[in-house]
Structure 1
Amino acid sequence: MTSINTGTNPYAQLGSAYARTAAATQPSLLDAINTTETASSSDPNAATNLTLSDAAKARMAAEAKTPDFATVTNDTRAALDKLYVAAKVTGPLGADGKTTVDLSALDRRSLFAIATNSGGKFTPDEQSVASGELTARFNAALAPAAAATSMTKNYTVVYKAALEYLDGASVEEKGTAAWSAQRAAVLKGYEAAKQKPDTAPSGISGDPVASYLALYPDGAPVGTTKTFSTVATNVRAALDAQASLATEKGTELVYDPARKFGQLVDFSSIDNRSLSAITLNQDQQFSNQEIYAAKKELDSRTRANILSSLKQSQQSGDPTQLSLGILQSYSAMSDEERLASGWSPSFRDNVVQNYRSTSNILSMLQGS
């Protein structure tokens, strides 16, 4: 269990801000369509056919599946109560001030409901803990990018990561004055960094990125709370559970997709550190076929990250984006993931050097 650090909590004022601006939430796509159709029906000369793009249809489908905030609030209240029962506690904080329950399973919208005391259903301690969890997630989103920034001195990387995290907020969160102020500050920092990538933006009021970098100037590594041995034991249990389900269905768990009989192992819910535990097999808990399959999955995810960075580089016309993307991936890995993937410190240093060389060549071409 860890205590909550609210020193740079960007969510501390969201409760009152949400209450003041809840009525100003953005209209949904369906609302906009309904408005268009109403206007058309009142005008006999107006076009009556509305053609939707695939993206618009996908957004409508997503909105239709999204529960309203009242439902989210009630479900979150029930989920919290279940956590207390399971942990045999009555609240989120113990007498020592440390958290008694793990909120990592709650999504961002649910945490926002708690932090803003939606419906008046949550205690001040619950709001504080949820707010701390939101801050931790913001920090975790910035950590790999901040580490890449510390290696390249390119501040656009960390500001871009902050923008992407903020833009991933729910409609309710985006409807707060606090979110708007934060995004405006981060956007201002991002624009400043684009002008002078090697200079940290300064003097921007309410800039959460500057606050983060003041605490972690070298980019805080992504923390791991479980020992690697515990991770290995947990993933061993997860694989055994899949094998048991396969047996119940009258088949067996297999690790080779070429096998015509059996239920293929599902790695989709297994994170990279757990895959690394299988691949490295330090406690001798896994078979050769399990190790081989886990290594293939880990390599596949690593390639996907590199290809994503390459695509970003090609689309932006900026060849440095490939190196920056790889450095962010490297910084997001645990030591075990790097070992299992063969990403050594010398590999990282080569990528940094490649970034610097490419940046120098671009500067020469641009005459700067």
Structure 2
Amino acid sequence: MDALLLAIRHPEATSSSRGKTFAVVAEDARKELDAAYDAMKNSGLPFDKKTPADVHALFGRLDRRSLYAVSVNKDGRFTADEIQAAQDIMQKQQLLALSDTKSEGLESLHRALTFLDNVSPEEKTSPEWLAQMTKLNKLSMSAHSAAGTESGKPSFYVPTLAELLS
């Protein structure tokens, strides 16, 4: 679970994927998931995909880069449930990274840009990443140009990350 939590503040942090090619990252992620399934089964409490604690236990040792390898399933190693779970965890990490502060407006926007800027090189090649960065950069440019109002506060609307990701 430590790797999942670490990615909230440091999406660039690598543990399970450090120094490996992306193909090896996916291969190692498959091995890690299989070992976690076996450990759960051997404990007498087999994995239940409907139980959030089981899902987090299953993926808990995977860093964000490894989660991304599962989520894109380039070599067909992962099930539809595993792919969806990895995608859900990554989205939660991103949402938590932004809600982990009391910042608002431009500061929150900066945190979103910083988070996305620090993900793995592989994730940065995805159309989803490009779309998110494009939206955030456009919003940032609009916000900066609107920042000089009479009250000294910007007169712009900063949508929530959930709205930006939709």
Scaled by the length of structure 1, the TM-score of the pair is: 0.34
Q: Tell me, yes or no, if the aligned pair for 2:55 and 2:85 is still in contact at 8 Å.
A: no
Query: In 2, distance between residues paired with 1:166 and 1:82?
Result: 30
SS in 2 for 1:190: helix
1:136 is matched with which residue: 70, 92, 117? 92
Alpha-carbon offset, residue 192 of structure 1: 1.7
Q: Tell me, yes or no, if the aligned pair for 1:92 and 1:129 is still in contact at 8 Å.
A: no
Percent identical residues:
30
Q: Tell me the residue number matched to 2:69.
A: 113
Describe how 1:45-124 pairs up with structure 2 within 5 A.
Answer: 66-88=19-41, 93=49, 97-99=50-52, 100-102=54-56, 103-124=59-80
Query: In 1, distance between residues paired with 2:85 and 2:39?
Result: 18
Describe how 1:119-268 pairs up with structure 2 within 5 A.
Answer: 119-145=75-101, 147-149=102-104, 155-197=105-147, 198-201=154-157, 209=161, 211=163
SS in 2 for 1:127: helix
Evaluate the alpha carbon distance shift between residue 208 and residue 119 of structure 1 in structure 2; reply closer, same or farther with a 3 A threshold. farther
Query: In 1, distance between residues paired with 2:119 and 2:108?
Result: 18
Alpha-carbon offset, residue 91 of structure 1: 5.2
Structure with greater Cα Rg: 1
Q: Map Cα deviations across residues 171-196 of structure 1 (whole Å, 9 max, x no partner).
A: 21111111111101011111222223
Evaluate the alpha carbon distance shift between residue 135 and residue 92 of structure 1 in structure 2; reply closer, same or farther with a 3 A threshold. farther
Query: In 2, distance between residues paired with 1:157 and 1:181?
Result: 20
Q: Map Cα deviations across residues 271-306 of structure 1 (whole Å, 9 max, x no partner).
A: xxxxxxxxxxxxxxxxxxxxxxxxxxxxxxxxxxxx
Query: In 2, distance between residues paired with 1:194 and 1:82?
Result: 49
Say what the alpha-carbon RMSD is for the aligned residues: 2.2
Q: Map Cα deviations across residues 95-122 of structure 1 (whole Å, 9 max, x no partner).
A: xx23323223311110001111131000
Query: In 1, distance between residues paired with 2:143 and 2:60?
Result: 32
Which sections of structure 1, spanning at least 5 residues, go unmatched?
1-64, 150-154, 213-368
Query: In 2, distance between residues paired with 1:122 and 1:128?
Result: 10
Which sections of structure 2, spanning at least 5 residues, go unmatched?
1-17, 148-153
Q: Tell me, yes or no, if the aligned pair for 2:40 and 2:47 is still in contact at 8 Å.
A: no
Evaluate the alpha carbon distance shift between residue 121 and residue 114 of structure 1 in structure 2; reply closer, same or farther with a 3 A threshold. same
Q: Tell me, yes or no, if the aligned pair for 2:30 and 2:77 is still in contact at 8 Å.
A: yes
Aligned residues: 135
Q: Map Cα deviations across residues 344-366 of structure 1 (whole Å, 9 max, x no partner).
A: xxxxxxxxxxxxxxxxxxxxxxx
Q: Tell me the residue number matched to 2:15.
A: none
Amino acid at match of 1:71: V
Bigger RCO of structures 1 and 2 (CA < 8 A, at least 6 apart): 2
Query: In 1, distance between residues paired with 2:48 and 2:90?
Result: 15
Amino acid at match of 2:40: A
Alpha-carbon offset, residue 211 of structure 1: 1.5
Scaled by the length of structure 2, the TM-score of the pair is: 0.72
